[in-house]
Structure 1
Amino acid sequence: MRGYSLDPHPSIKVVTEQYAVVRIPRVKRERVPANNVEIMDDLKMAIEKSDPKNHLYAAKVLGPSRSSEGVILYYILDMFNA
């Protein structure tokens, strides 16, 4: 993510790629707060639970990560029904 290391050490797996349903008001977002992310077991579940009319989108996310302001964030890597 543009030169930032999200893991404190390469051998520690704190930040992971996961499928999720994210609630976002507009599709062109790079990151979202953790309270707007619901982690799913797989992509199929995320797509089934998505509802673009209500701003719920299936996505592949990277996180959780703490911002410089102390907010827990997930970074959106890919959107599947935007």
Structure 2
Amino acid sequence: MQPIVMDPGSTSLEQHPALVLTKRQSRKRFPEGCVTLVDSEADAIHGSRPDENLYAALVYGPSPSSEGLRLYYLVRWL
């Protein structure tokens, strides 16, 4: 997959600490319904529950997809 191109001038796309619900950590993008934004990386790490497929991550978005969904892109797992 191509690296994420981040637009420093964007007013709608930002990096966010988050909790991501996924069974596969090999995925690089996630629909909005699988992502819960949190206040800090520490909150994300504290809230993660890998045994329940809930992982701490730094994500970029939300970005509209061609299917009409809003997606978040994985920057890195925390």
Tell which structure's C-alpha radius of gyration is larger. 1
* C-alpha deviation, 1:5, in angstroms: 6.3
CA 1:48–1:4 in structure 2 vs 1: closer, same or farther (change >3 Å)?
closer
User: What residue number does 1:49 align with?
Assistant: 47
Distance in 2 of aligned mates of 1:39 and 1:27? 17
CA 1:3–1:21 in structure 2 vs 1: closer, same or farther (change >3 Å)?
closer
User: What residue number does 2:31 align with?
Assistant: 33
Secondary structure of the residue that 1:57 maps to in structure 2?
strand
Q: Percent identity?
A: 38
Which residues of structure 2 form unaligned runs of 5+? none
1:24 paired residue among 22, 25, 43 = 22
Over aligned residue pairs, what C-alpha RMSD do you find? 2.1
Distance in 2 of aligned mates of 1:45 and 1:35? 19
* C-alpha deviation, 1:12, in angstroms: 3.9
CA 1:26–1:2 in structure 2 vs 1: closer, same or farther (change >3 Å)?
closer
Aligned residue type for 2:65: S
Secondary structure of the residue that 1:29 maps to in structure 2?
coil
CA contact (8 A) 2:61 2:72 kept: yes
Distance in 2 of aligned mates of 1:23 and 1:4? 20
Which residues of structure 1 form unaligned runs of 5+? none
* C-alpha deviation, 1:56, in angstroms: 0.3
Q: How many residue pairs align between the two structures?
A: 78
CA contact (8 A) 1:6 1:65 kept: no
